[in-house]
C-alpha cells in the first residue's frame, strides 16, 4: 500500500540517527575548529583587528549553531517517531521499571564501552586543539622574548594526562569487557534491599579487596545551548569492602555478591536516562594492570509490600573495620582519656588525592587569570575569575591544612580546629548535645566525603571533622563519640 498511501515510517535506530547527525556535523565542526585556531593564533600574536575578530567569531558561532541545529532536528524527529509508535502513557504504570528493557530482564550491563568512546573523542579533540595552539603560538613568542607564552603549555600537559587516563581505561575495557549485574529480585525496594551478583568476564584477584558502593543521585540540567550544564548531587550513599577471596564462577570469570540495605526515605528511580533520580551501583578493585571499575544504573522503587530481607551473602567476604582502615590508609587517631572519654585526632592533608586534584584545578584556573591579565582583558573578567579563584584557593587550603581534635567525655565535648598557627575552640556540655551523626559533605564525581556533625538541642550544628573518605569509618567514629559521652564501652 506504500505506492498509494504513504506508510507510517518505522522509527530510525538511535545509533544510525546519531551517526547520520555526526556525519552532517563534521564539515561545520572542522570549519569552526579552523576559525577558532585562527582566532587564538592571531589574537595571541597581536594581528587581530576588530573586523577580523568579528568575522572569525561569527564563523565559530555559526558552526556551533549549525551543529546544534542538526542534532536538535535529529532529536525532534526521534521524539516524534517515538511518540507515534508508543502507546499513550506509561506501559506499566504500576511497575514502571518494566518500561526499560534492561531493567525488565533483570540483567543490567555496565556502561563502560560508551564511556570509553566518548572519552577518546574528547581526548583527540583536546590534543588536536592544544597542539595546534602550542605549535603556532609558543615558538614565535619565545623568540620574541615573551616568556609568558609558556603558559600555553599547560593545555598539552593536561591533554597528556587525560591521554594516559584514556589509555588505561581502554586497557581495562579490553581486559574485563562488559560486566553484568544479575538482580536477585526486581526492583530494589526502598526500605528493603538491593541484591544480586555482578558477573565479570575475567578472573578478578584484587590486591587489597573489592570496594562496593551504592549511591542515590539527583541529576539536573540547567541553561540552554552552550550554557547548558548538568550537575549531580549525592542524596545518599553506602559502601562496603569485600576481601579478595571472591567466588570464582569458572577459571575465567568472577562473581561479586551484592547486598545493600536501602533507606525508606529516599526518592524512587527515574526511568529516563536524563534528569531525575538515579541509583548507581559501583564495583572497584585495584589489581595488577588496569584496575577494575564497573557502574550500573539500577532500579529502586517503593513497593506496596516490602519483601523480607534475605541473609546477606556478602557477610563471609566482608572486611573488618580494622582491615578497612588499613586499606584506606586512615590517619585518624582514637585515644582513651584518663576521665573515661576518648580523643579523636584528624590530621591535616588526610586526603592527598582529593587535595591534589583540587590544587590542580586551582592552578589551571589561576593560569587562566594570568592569561587574561597578560592579554589585558576587560577588568570585569579578571575580577569575576579572581573571586572564584579565591573561593577555590580557600577550599584547597582547607584540605591541606585543616586539623581537628575532638575530646568527648561524659561531661563535655570539646572541638578544636586549627589551620597552621590559627586555632578555634568550642566546648559543649553533654546535656546540650542532641545527637552525633555523619552527613555528606564535599563530593568528587560519585565519591562522597563525610562530615561529622554534632547537633545541639537548641538546633545548632557544629562540624567536628570534615572530609572523611570512608562511610564505614565515619559511621564508626560517630558511634565511638556517642559511646564516649555516654561512658559506655
pLDDT over 70 for what percent of the chain?
75
User: Exposure of 204 by Cβ count < 10 A (0-12 exposed, 13-18 middle, 19+ buried)?
Assistant: buried
Return the minimum-mean-pLDDT range out of 78-82, 95-99, 447-451, 461-465. 78-82
Cis peptide bond N-terminal to 404, omega within 30: no
> Over the chain, what is the mean pLDDT?
79
Residue 6 has pLDDT above 50, yes or no: no
Concatenate the DSSP letters of all residues of 246-266 into one string. Answer: PPPSBTTBEEEEEEEE--SSS
One of 3.40.50.1110, 2.30.30.100, 3.40.30.10, 2.60.40.640 is the CATH number of 178-319, namely: 2.60.40.640
* φ/ψ (deg, to 5) at 176: -105, -20
Give me the mean pLDDT over the 395-423 stretch: 92
Rounded to a whole number, what is the distance in angstroms from the first to the last CA of the chain? 83
Return the minimum-mean-pLDDT range out of 29-43, 115-129, 473-487. 29-43
CA-to-CA distance for 197 and 216, rounded, in angstroms?
20
pLDDT, residue 98, reads 86
Give me the mean pLDDT over the 192-200 stretch: 92
Q: How far is CA 414 from CA 209, 243, 343, 380, in A?
A: 36, 37, 10, 45
Higher pLDDT, 342 or 307: 342
pLDDT, residue 361, reads 87
Predicted confidence (pLDDT) per residue in 254-312, tens digit = 888 999 999 999 999 998 877 889 999 999 888 887 888 888 999 999 998 888 878 88
- Is 277:269 a contact under the CB 8 Å cutoff? yes
Taking phi first (over 0 means left), then psi (-120 to 50 degrees means alpha), and beta for anything else, what does residue 276 get?
left
Return the minimum-mean-pLDDT range out of 153-167, 408-422, 440-454. 153-167
pLDDT, residue 177, reads 81
Is residue 2 very low, low, confident or very high in pLDDT (cuts 50, 70, 90)? very low
CA-to-CA distance for 130 and 117, rounded, in angstroms?
20
Query: Can you list the pairs that 328-333 forms with residues at least 24 positions away whose Cβ atoms lie under 8 Å?
Result: 328/469, 328/470, 328/473, 330/470, 330/473, 332/465, 332/468, 332/473, 332/477
Q: How far is CA 352 from CA 280, 321, 329, 348, 356, in A?
A: 26, 22, 11, 10, 6
Q: Which three cell numbers stand for residue 451?
A: 562530615
Predicted confidence (pLDDT) per residue in 98-130, tens digit = 888 888 888 898 866 667 777 777 778 777 777
| Contact partners, residue 5, CB within 8 Å, separation at least 6 | none
User: Exposure of 468 by Cβ count < 10 A (0-12 exposed, 13-18 middle, 19+ buried)?
Assistant: buried
Higher pLDDT, 199 or 206: 199
Show me where the domains of the chain are located. Answer: 11-86, 178-319, 335-486
> Which of helix, strand or coil describes residue 409?
coil
Is the pTM above the cut of 0.75? no
Counting Cα atoms < 13 Å in the Cβ hemisphere of 210 gives 25
Amino acid at each position: 500500500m506504500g505506492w498509494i498511501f504513504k506508510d507510517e515510517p518505522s522509527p530510525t535506530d538511535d545509533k544510525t540517527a546519531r551517526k547520520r547527525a555526526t556525519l552532517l556535523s563534521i564539515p561545520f565542526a572542522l570549519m569552526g575548529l579552523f576559525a577558532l585556531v585562527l582566532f587564538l593564533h592571531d589574537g595571541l600574536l597581536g594581528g587581530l583587528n576588530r573586523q577580523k575578530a568579528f568575522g572569525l567569531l561569527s564563523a565559530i558561532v555559526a558552526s556551533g549553531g549549525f551543529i546544534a541545529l542538526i542534532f536538535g532536528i535529529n532529536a525532534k524527529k526521534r521524539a516524534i517517531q517515538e511518540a507515534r509508535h508508543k502507546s499513550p502513557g506509561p506501559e506499566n504504570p504500576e511497575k514502571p521499571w518494566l518500561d526499560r528493557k534492561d531493567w525488565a530482564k533483570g540483567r543490567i550491563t555496565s556502561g563502560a564501552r560508551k564511556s570509553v568512546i566518548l572519552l577518546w573523542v574528547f581526548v583527540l579533540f583536546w590534543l588536536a586543539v592544544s597542539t595546534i595552539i602550542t605549535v603556532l603560538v609558543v615558538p614565535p613568542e619565545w623568540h620574541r622574548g615573551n616568556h609568558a607564552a609558556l603558559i600555553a603549555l599547560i593545555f598539552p600537559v593536561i591533554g597528556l594526562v587525560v591521554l594516559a587516563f584514556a589509555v588505561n581505561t581502554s586497557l581495562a575495557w579490553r581486559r574485563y569487557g562488559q560486566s553484568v549485574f544479575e538482580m536477585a529480585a526486581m526492583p530494589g525496594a526502598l526500605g528493603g534491599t538491593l541484591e544480586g551478583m555482578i558477573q565479570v568476564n575475567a578472573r578478578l584477584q584484587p590486591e587489597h579487596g573489592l570496594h562496593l558502593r551504592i549511591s542515590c543521585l539527583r541529576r539536573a540540567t540547567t541553561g540552554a545551548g552552550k550554557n547548558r550544564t548538568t550537575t549531580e548531587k549525592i542524596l545518599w550513599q553506602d559502601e562496603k569492602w569485600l576481601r579478595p577471596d571472591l567466588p570464582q564462577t569458572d577459571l575465567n570469570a568472577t562473581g561479586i555478591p551484592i547486598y545493600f540495605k536501602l533507606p525508606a526515605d529516599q526518592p524512587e528511580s527515574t526511568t529516563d536516562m536524563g534528569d531525575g533520580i538515579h541509583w548507581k551501583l559501583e564495583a572497584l578493585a585495584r589489581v595488577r594492570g588496569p584496575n577494575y571499575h564497573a557502574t550500573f544504573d539500577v532500579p529502586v522503587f517503593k513497593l506496596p509490600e516490602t519483601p523480607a530481607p534475605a541473609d546477606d551473602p556478602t557477610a563471609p567476604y566482608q572486611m573488618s573495620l580494622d582491615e578497612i582502615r588499613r586499606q584506606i590508609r586512615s590517619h585518624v587517631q582514637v585515644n582513651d582519656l584518663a576521665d573515661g572519654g576518648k580523643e579523636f585526632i584528624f590530621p591535616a592533608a588526610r586526603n592527598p588525592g582529593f587535595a591534589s586534584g583540587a590544587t590542580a584545578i586551582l592552578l589551571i584556573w589561576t593560569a587562566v587569570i594570568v592569561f587574561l591579565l597578560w592579554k589585558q582583558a576587560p577588568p570585569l573578567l579578571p575580577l569575576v575569575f579572581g573571586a572564584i579563584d579565591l573561593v577555590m584557593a580557600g577550599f584547597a587550603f582547607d584540605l591541606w591544612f585543616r586539623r581537628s581534635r575532638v575530646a568527648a567525655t561524659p561531661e563535655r565535648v570539646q572541638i578544636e580546629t586549627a589551620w597552621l598557627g590559627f586555632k578555634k575552640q568550642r566546648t559543649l556540655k553533654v546535656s546540650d548535645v542532641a545527637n552525633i551523626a555523619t552527613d555528606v559533605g564535599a563530593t568528587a564525581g560519585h565519591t562522597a566525603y563525610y562530615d561529622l556533625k554534632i547537633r545541639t538541642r537548641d538546633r545548632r550544628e557544629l562540624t567536628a571533622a570534615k572530609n572523611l573518605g570512608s562511610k564505614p569509618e565515619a559511621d564508626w567514629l560517630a558511634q565511638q563519640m556517642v559511646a564516649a559521652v555516654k561512658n559506655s564501652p
